[in-house]
Amino acid sequence: MHIVSLIIITRLSEWRNERSFFAMMQNVWTLPCIIALRFWPSVIKDAWGTYALITVLLAYPYCRMNQTPYPSPLNHPSTNPPPQTQST
């Protein structure tokens, strides 16, 4: 599930060309699960429900791959060296 969510988030961020919004998806995904674990009264009694909730929690979309291309490769010094000056 983790790989599937990673591929979906990556494709959507490329399609929409919006990496900041999709970088927030990890927090948006995790928050309801943490709240449910905190306030669910049968978190210890219902083992399979807790297992399912923790599985969903741990399958959060890993957005680090979307944040890596923030520094544009076109602005990187190794791909765009400074212009050569002519010495006289």
User: How many domains does the chain divide into?
Assistant: 1
- Evaluate the CA torsion angle 68, 70, 74, 80 in order and state its sign: negative
Q: Are 49 and 37 in contact (CB under 8 A)?
A: no
Is 17 within a domain?
yes
51 within a domain of the structure (yes/no):
yes
Mean pLDDT by 10 residues, the chain (88 residues): 74 77 79 90 87 86 63 54 63
Confidence (pLDDT) at 16: 79
Amino acid 12: pLDDT: 80
Residue 55 within any structural domain of the chain: yes
In a domain, 76, yes or no: no
CA distance linking residue 50 with residue 88, whole number of Å:
75
Q: Does residue 16 lie in a domain region? A: yes
Q: Which domain holds residue 18?
A: 2-68
Residue 80 per-residue DSSP state: S
Residue 65 confidence (pLDDT)? 61
Q: Report angle CA 76, 77, 79 to the nearest 5 degrees.
A: 70
Within-domain flag for 62: yes
